[in-house]
Amino acid sequence: DHMRASIDSSAHVYVMTEVDMTRIMNYVNKEGDSFYSKEGFSLTYTPFIIKACVKALASYPEMNASIDENDIIYHKNINIGLAVAVDKGLMVPVIDSCEELNFLGLCRKVRDLATRTRNKQLIPDELQGSTFSISNFGVFNVTMGTPIINQPNVGILGVGAVKKRPVVIETNEGDTIGIKNMMILSLGFDHRIIDGAGGSQFVEMIRENIEKINLENLF
């Protein structure tokens, strides 16, 4: 019913872009064992994506807004709803005030919420108050999708699987073909408040934030 209501109320528009995840994938492969020995769980791509989104949302406050009848409400905090698959359905627990968390804090929050969601240990308040949502269907090896906006949000990011692809690499000596670890991001947004230019610029900023993330000072 919640998804049906979203289709009926929001003017859904989608834009997609490809992201080079090679640097992040190499980093995870290199530091994964050390991270696991310290934290007791695996380092995944999700916190990198959330961090990139939070930085972009700070620059595009209209994407962190909601619509209440005829009013646009701009939210002070960035609360990310993270879609988690459960038996016979989907739940969207919320990470509150992501702008106040460092990278390690995001890693721990993602792990905690995902674990407790699948174990049915969430409290109702943890499923409310999101200002932007992320749906990572890439964990099921899906390349690309068009997720439905989680009301009352005006935007949702769909994250596809990271897959090796031949791509054109520009060098000073000319173009060449190389193998890169690529991922497709799909941004769904409400056209009542976000126009095509704004949505395109937002997802482009997320792409840039992911590809240029400072891996030397994450922790």
Q: Which residues pair with 180 in a beta bridge?
A: 165
Reported as a single tens digit per residue, the pLDDT across 7-44 is: 999 999 999 999 999 999 999 999 999 999 999 999 99
Residues in the chain: 219
Q: Which two tokens stand for residue 6?
A: 């979203």
Query: Tokens 């109320």 sit at which residue?
Result: 9
Q: Considering the chain, what is the average pLDDT of its residues? A: 95
* pLDDT at position 1: 86
**Is 2 labeled as catalytic in the residue annotation?**
no
Cis peptide before 93 (omega within 30 of 0): no
Catalytic residue among 75, 96, 112, 191: 191
User: Is residue 54 a contact partner of residue 205, using CB atoms and an 8 Å limit?
Assistant: no
Q: What is the sign, positive or negative, of the torsion defined by CA atoms of 35, 18, 101, 46?
A: negative
Give yes or no for residue 163 having a pLDDT over 80. yes
Reported as a single tens digit per residue, the pLDDT across 93-126 is: 999 999 999 999 999 999 999 999 999 899 999 9
Count Cβ atoms within 10 A of the Cβ of residue 108 and give its class: 0-12 exposed, 13-18 middle, 19 or more buried: middle
Give yes or no for residue 88 having a pLDDT over 80. no
**Is 75 labeled as catalytic in the residue annotation?**
no
Work out the end-to-end distance of the chain between its first and last CA atoms, rounded to an integer number of angstroms: 41
Q: How many CB atoms are located within 10 Å of the residue 147 CB?
A: 22
